[in-house]
Structure 1
Amino acid sequence: MLDIHGLDVHYDGVHALRGLSVTVEQGEIVALLGNNGAGKTTTLSAISGLVRPGDGTVVFDGQEITRDKPHTIAARGLVHVPEGRRVFSTLTIHENLQLGGYMVRDQAEIRKRIAHIYELLPRLAERRDQQGGTLSGGEQQMLAIGRALVTGPRLLLLDEPSMGLAPLVVASVMRLIAQINAEGTSVLLVEQNATAALGIAHRGYVLENGVRILEGHAVELRADPRVADAYLGGMTHEPN
């Protein structure tokens, strides 16, 4: 579904990606792991057209999108939820969700998608008239993901959805991502919380200084002592 080959990106004077190759198959959750500065966010930005790569290709569903503009890429069904949630703080939950449908011409389809999000996230439904800026961090993250779903993604790019959230809230966010995937949306998930990411991912890649240093099935990565020592706090057993 997504084929990134030989991606090379210089960003703010830094060689952020160095010949990176990553794939996502239809129906997968693929985790991109690594420490700060590893190139994870730059990878998502290059895929979604926010950053122009110097070399390499990005192919989505058989069509090259390397030089396409962000709105064109989103219209194809490749939707990016950036780090930091970025909800519209003075707009209500419902208004935020409506903005997710700005490229959807069919108003009935927008209403249908929002209704489904309220089913997935009843807490948002209860507070639909509350301003986005008054929500907790976890609720804002749920809203940001919900707003992206109104766009109708076939592949969802999620950048650090667990950042700054309490462990119980992180678990709720990961359950939501797994449910979205079970309903047919593929996911490329950038996370520093490797334990949470590998708990729901099918496969994963580990980046370091813009280079892919490890890849494998999630079970294999969880059992790999190099991943356990660097990203799982030395934990080599299966997470609960």
Structure 2
Amino acid sequence: MSWLEVEDADVFYGRVHALRGLSFAVEQGEIVCLLGNNGAGKSTTMNLLSGLVRPKSGRVRWDGVDLAAAKPWDIVSKGLVHVPEGRRIFSTMTVHDNLLLGGYTVKDQRAIAERVDLAYSLMPRLAERRKQQGGTLSGGEQQMLAIGRALVAGPRLLLLDEPSMGLAPLVVKQVMEIIAEVNRQGTTVLLVEQNARAALRIAHRAYVVETGSVTLQGDAAELARDSRVVDAYLGA
């Protein structure tokens, strides 16, 4: 059994069948990417793993935890942390206070302080702006803040939903480098991205999701050369 395993998951929003027998797996230590266009079911998958939506059928397990039955706050406490699409930082709070909020399930104040320092070391721009309100940051800085806030929670599995959305190419490169470094330091990452080129550069494996089902899967470097992926997501 894989460390994270989604098997034949079906999710509905009313009459809308968002996930249709979705199956994929993530092993500890990997960066795994879910690729797909808008409406493919990628964000629904992240919400499923976070306990925000429930499957009508299928199995969702992570490190021995039945995610389909667990409460969202318990999932966070166990180390599965979700950075949602759109960042959702607290715009009127300072950068530092946003980071501290990431530790709301952590009882060890020393651990929180160490993780805040880690976020600042990974993203020095945040340290420079620690007293600024989150809403005054650029889009790239807000994305860094959202990642940093998640790191303070102490993730073992980090879910990142469209971290490159709306960012300039140079900033996308910086964000992807941060994600790769977080992984090198021991955190497993599940990455949802429309920017297939950027995602496949840092991922170990990838799945292509279309209309709620996996249609392609494999080694990231191999998929980057697959004509079907090139035509659909990478361009000429």
Amino acid at match of 1:132: G
Alignment correspondent of 1:59: 61
Separation of aligned partners in 2, 1:109 and 1:230: 44
Q: Which amino acid aligns with 1:218?
A: A
1:10 aligns with 2:12: yes
Looking at structure 2, the residues matched to 107 and 76 of structure 1 have their Cα atoms a distance apart, in angstroms, of 17
| Cα shift readout 1:31-88 (whole Å, capped 9, x = no counterpart) | 0000000000000000110111111111111222212111011111000000000000
Q: TM-score, normalized by length of structure 1?
A: 0.96
2:182 to 180, 190, 208: 180
| SS across alignment from 2:145 | helix
Structure 1 partner of 2:230:
228
Residue 12 (structure 1) shift: 4.5
> Is residue 203 from structure 1 mapped to residue 208 from structure 2 by the alignment?
no
CA distance in 2, matches of 1:191, 1:13: 26
Equivalent position to 2:172, from 167, 170, 173: 170
Q: Distance in 2 between matches of 1:12 and 1:203?
A: 32
Structure 1 segments unaligned to the other structure (5+ residues) = 235-240
Which of residues 45, 48, 51 is equivalent to 2:50?
48
Paired residue for 2:152? Answer: 150
Partner of 2:82: 80
Task: Give 5+ residue unaligned stretches, structure 2.
Answer: none
Q: Identity of paired residues, percent?
A: 67
Which SS does the other structure have where 1:98 is aligned?
helix
Q: Specify the alignment match of 2:133 in structure 1.
A: 131
Contact 2:23 2:213 in 1 (8 A): no
Give the letter for the 1:219 counterpart: A
SS at match of 1:178: helix
Asked if residue 21 in structure 1 is aligned to residue 20 in structure 2, the reply is no
Aligned residue pairs total 234
Counterpart residue type for residue 226 of structure 2 = D
Q: TM-score, normalised by structure 2?
A: 0.98
CA distances 1:121-179 after superposition (whole Å, capped 9, x unpaired): 11100110000000000000000000000000000000000000000000000000000
2:112 — aligned with what? 110
Shift, 1:120, TM fit = 0.7
Q: Partner of 1:10: helix, strand, or coil? A: strand
- Residue 112 of structure 2 aligns to a residue whose secondary structure is helix
| Equivalent residue number for residue 237 of structure 1 | none
